[in-house]
């Protein structure tokens, strides 16, 4: 069963049922207990579904222009922190910002940009699941491209 936006609740219910069916068993697949993995994956999927609903609710309250302004603002901040970190790496830091404190700022700003991107996708594209799939496919193509360019083994199994 391929899990999609349209059948995620069915998949969660099936996983919960699987966990219940294996509750009394102490069968272990390697380091994984069947009931635990079913339970944990159900929770993971529920959290993802909950986050998608939150994004949708937020996007209904905001104007497209506001979301794009938010994205632009946060991307520009990310560029600033990335440039600062690059200067830190090259030993050319004109400010007193240490590499470790800037790394924290860079991490937090990356999270802001990821959120802004998700929010803008949710707002600008009514069929978010399909848009997200296309973006994930493009992202995976970039990942494979870099693996190839860096002459890395792409068979990670």
Give residue-wise pLDDT tens across range 82-139: 999 998 888 887 677 788 888 999 999 999 999 999 999 888 777 777 888 888 899 9
Say what the pLDDT of residue 28 is: 60
Say what the pLDDT of residue 156 is: 59
Q: Tell me how far apart the alpha carbons of residues 71 and 113 are, in angstroms, rounded to a whole number.
A: 7
Domain ranges (residues) in the chain: 1-61
Q: 136 or 154: whose pLDDT is higher?
A: 136
Sorted by sequence, the CB contacts under 8 Å of residue 114 that are 6+ apart come out as none
Residue from 21, 15, 24 nearest 43 by CA: 15
What CA dihedral angle connects 18, 23, 26 and 27, to 10 degrees? -10
Tell whether pTM > 0.85: no
Average pLDDT over residues 23-50: 80
Q: Assign 27 a pLDDT band (cuts: 50, 70, 90).
A: low
Number of residues assigned to the chain? 157
- What's the number of CA atoms in the CB half-sphere (13 Å) around residue 24? 1
Say what the pLDDT of residue 67 is: 93
Q: 1 or 18: whose pLDDT is higher?
A: 18
Which of 3-7, 12-16, 124-128: highest mean pLDDT?
12-16
Q: Which two tokens stand for residue 6?
A: 């349209």
Average pLDDT over residues 150-155: 77
């Amino acid at each position: 069963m391929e899990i999609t936006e349209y059948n995620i609740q069915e998949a969660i219910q099936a996983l919960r049922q699987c966990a219940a069916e294996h509750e009394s068993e102490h069968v272990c697949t390697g380091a994984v207990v069947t009931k635990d993995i079913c339970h944990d994956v159900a929770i993971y999927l529920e959290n993802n579904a909950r986050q998608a609903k939150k994004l949708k609710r937020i996007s209904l309250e905001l104007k497209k222009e506001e979301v794009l302004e938010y994205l632009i603002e946060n991307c520009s901040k990310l560029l600033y922190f990335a440039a600062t970190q690059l200067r830190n790496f090259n030993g050319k830091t004109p400010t007193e910002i240490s590499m470790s404190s800037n790394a924290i700022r860079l991490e937090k700003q990356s999270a802001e940009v990821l959120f802004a991107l998700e929010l803008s996708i949710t707002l600008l594209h009514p069929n978010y699941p399909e848009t997200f799939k296309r973006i994930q496919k493009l992202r995976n193509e970039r990942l494979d491209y870099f693996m190839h360019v860096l002459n890395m083994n792409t068979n990670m199994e």
